Structure 1
Amino acid sequence: MSLIFNHLRILKISIPFLLLIGIVILSYKIDLHSADSILSKAIIFDLLITIPVAYFFTIRKTKIPLTTLVPVLILCTVIGFLIIPEKNQYYLQFFKVYALPVFEIVLISYVIYKVRIAFLQLKKNTSDTPDFYEALLKTCKEIIPNPFLKPFAAEIAIIYYGFFKWKSPELKVNQFSFHKSGGSIALLSIIILLIISETFILHILLVKWNVAVAWILSALSIYSGIQIFGLIKSIPQRPSYIDEEKIVLRYGVFNEAEIPFSNIESIEISSRDLPEEKTAKNFSVLGKLDSHNLIIHLKKEAVFNGYYGLKIKYRTLGIFIDQKQEFVNAVNDKLNV
């Protein structure tokens, strides 16, 4: 019975997309360039009104976030521009210029509002300063589809840490930093300086060849610089810590690992090169370019989360901790219990 119910639910959710496919097929069967403009208007109405409304009513009582309505609207708009003759695109242009940005602003405002509520709730329920990125992920999980969850949250977190969070928190008991003695921030800062200089020189050279390409590449370089700047700012804001059951390692908003004590074979203070094995990883996003002063050996292979939700397998992990002796002592105390 439950299997039949699941099939019916999938069929129901498929209806808006079946309508969309039907419209695309119809546009290829009928020459819209020679057809009456009323037909184009009817198709535009279906793309911008009928299908989004049908999608809304099929998902409103499901676990699918209502925020997915915006990507559906964008998809319908793109398809409209592809199949509707340019002379009949007035309403599509109007929707793209005036209505679609409003939906996007409402979505972003809603996410910010929900994050703020979640952050205040966390702050109320704990004596420690809550982690903004954790609150952001928790909130986005309720309103953003899972495939887009990590990228969406990471983009917001980069802007927040990069431009709105300046004061570094004081370390609590069993919290550990890695940015004070490590070389990560220095290396990342050098990369930003290289991006700035290379972008300026490359832009001057490319603009003589193609202005559009020059500005596109410059924009991508600026975006990369903002990403790295946000990472640098997030590093001191998110210290690693040890609790009763596990180690939680953080590299700003880019990397995060949870290592249960039950899976730790040993931990050693060492800066020697990691073994040439696929499962031997440096926790830094800079990989072997960055240094480590501790090596954690696991009993069995595990996975840590990289940027944009990338899963990285490891069994030996090189990390840098400023308070390395205190960290090792704390871990060994847990292992010896």
Structure 2
Amino acid sequence: MIHLSVLSRSYYFLIYLVLLSILSFSVFLGLSDWLFSEPNLAWGIIADLTLTAPLVYLIMIWKTKIPKLSVVPVLGLGILIGTYIIPASHQLPLTIFKSYVLPLVELSVLFLVGRKVIHATSAIRKAKRSADVYGVIKEQCALMIENIKVSRIFATEMAMIYYGLFAWRKAKPGVNEFTSYKESGVVALLIAVVLVVLIETVGLHFLLIRWNESVAWIIFGVSLYTAIQVLAHQKALKRRFIQVSESQLELKNGLFGDLVVNWDEVESIEAFTRDIEEEGVEQLAFLKGLESYNLLIRFKNEVTIEKLYGMKKKCNSLLVQVDDRERFLNLVSERV
């Protein structure tokens, strides 16, 4: 009798084998001489890459534990392959797909993730707990996107949009929560950075547009998005709090640094504002060297800080800014 787990592994293997077969056959046709003798073949190849492959994959994973949103990377892979194997003169159907269908797919994904985030956030608020929306976004993306690296990138982009454009309601810290921006002046610093980026962008845009309009608009878009990212971080700082629970310490620095440790991993926490030159010491900050700190946390073993887009940074000690430092030290002294 064949064990159920063996059947499951075989089926998963079959899914990827079928997908690989469709993509490989499309590549074979795209690189063959038939494409030049039969120009209409390009429509069929692009249809296989952007419709057949994602749909077959979606049908095959529908009743499995593979997240449905994993079809999005499959679609992206199909578009990427089509862009490289189809000659530019035959890419009209692919251009149409990119211009009209792909934006609808992206909006649908944003809508699905956004709806789940709203429901999860509402549940947290009903339970009378502070809603760490970025944390909720990361949880929901991890549930829907199997690859943790991809899910973290997607979560960061979602958080940038949420905090940069929609998060305007004030948030108040709970009893065991602490802010990290009121006494450091970092909010004014970040607003100044946003203003400088916008002013420089406008000036540079009018200068470049005389030389190359396309380059001018690309740089304008990148600069504008950079300003939104900094603004999103500044607003996240005011809405994501350092939390002290019975079992854990949750350290948060807007969108640029998260660290959750159990109390038995913490060696000491002390008031600290001096310069320090010591290996393995990191600062939980976006603009290191410009932002202040008032605590030094030492760990018994190396810990990992989660940075933007899921990037990691290891450290043995961490410099942190915490408002109401004395109350924080009194609270954590019972646990360290």
TM score, norm. by length of structure 2: 0.90
Q: 2:92 and 2:211 mapped to 1: Cα distance? A: 34
Classify 1:61/1:292 alpha carbon distance in 2 versus 1 (closer, same or farther; 3 Å): same
Q: 1:259 and 1:171 mapped to 2: Cα distance? A: 20
Determine the structure 2 residue equivalent to 1:291: 292
**1:118 maps to 2:120:** yes
Greater CA drift, 287-296 or 79-88:
79-88
Q: Alpha-carbon deviation of 1:61? A: 2.8
**1:9 maps to 2:18:** no
Whether the 8 Å CA contact 1:274–1:318 is kept in 2: the answer is no
SS at match of 2:136: helix
Q: Find the partner of 1:67 among 69, 88, 95.
A: 69
Greater CA drift, 287-296 or 141-150:
141-150
Q: Alpha-carbon deviation of 1:306? A: 0.9
Aligned pair count reads: 332
Determine the structure 2 residue equivalent to 1:267: 269
Determine the structure 2 residue equivalent to 1:95: 97
Q: 2:149 and 2:163 mapped to 1: Cα distance? A: 23
Determine the structure 2 residue equivalent to 1:315: 316
Q: Find the partner of 1:46 among 37, 45, 48.
A: 48
- Give the AA of the match of 1:308: Y
Q: Alpha-carbon deviation of 1:190? A: 2.2
Q: Alpha-carbon deviation of 1:232? A: 0.6
**1:188 maps to 2:178:** no
SS at match of 1:285: coil
Whether the 8 Å CA contact 2:130–2:173 is kept in 1: the answer is no
Q: Alpha-carbon deviation of 1:36? A: 2.3
Q: Alpha-carbon deviation of 1:288? A: 2.3
Q: 1:46 and 1:196 mapped to 2: Cα distance? A: 43
Q: Alpha-carbon deviation of 1:25? A: 2.2
Q: Find the partner of 2:26 among 23, 27, 42.
A: 23
Classify 1:171/1:44 alpha carbon distance in 2 versus 1 (closer, same or farther; 3 Å): closer
What is the alpha-carbon root mean square deviation over aligned residues? Answer: 2.2
- Give the AA of the match of 1:202: L
Q: Alpha-carbon deviation of 1:128? A: 2.2
1:1-337 paired onto structure 2 within 5 Å? 2=5, 6=9, 9-33=12-36, 35-85=37-87, 88-124=90-126, 126-145=127-146, 146-277=148-279, 279-335=280-336
Q: 2:300 and 2:25 mapped to 1: Cα distance? A: 54
Whether the 8 Å CA contact 1:265–1:299 is kept in 2: the answer is yes
- Give the AA of the match of 1:131: D
Q: Alpha-carbon deviation of 1:287? A: 1.7
Q: 1:95 and 1:122 mapped to 2: Cα distance? A: 39
Q: Alpha-carbon deviation of 1:90? A: 4.4
SS at match of 2:335: helix
Classify 1:182/1:20 alpha carbon distance in 2 versus 1 (closer, same or farther; 3 Å): same
Q: 1:213-250 CA distances to partner (integer Å, 9 max, x unpaired)? A: 22211211111100000111111111111000121111
Greater CA drift, 325-334 or 51-60:
51-60
Q: Alpha-carbon deviation of 1:19? A: 1.8
Classify 1:24/1:274 alpha carbon distance in 2 versus 1 (closer, same or farther; 3 Å): same
Q: 1:205 and 1:117 mapped to 2: Cα distance? A: 46
SS at match of 1:224: helix
Q: 1:1-30 CA distances to partner (integer Å, 9 max, x unpaired)? A: 656853552343232123212221232232
- Give the AA of the match of 1:331: V
Q: 2:78 and 2:91 mapped to 1: Cα distance? A: 13
- Give the AA of the match of 1:20: L
- Give the AA of the match of 1:23: S
SS at match of 1:179: coil
Greater CA drift, 315-324 or 10-19:
10-19
Q: Alpha-carbon deviation of 1:89? A: 4.1
Classify 1:296/1:45 alpha carbon distance in 2 versus 1 (closer, same or farther; 3 Å): closer
Classify 1:5/1:144 alpha carbon distance in 2 versus 1 (closer, same or farther; 3 Å): closer
SS at match of 1:298: strand
User: Any unmatched runs of 5+ in structure 2?
Assistant: none
- Give the AA of the match of 2:33: I
Q: Alpha-carbon deviation of 1:76? A: 2.0
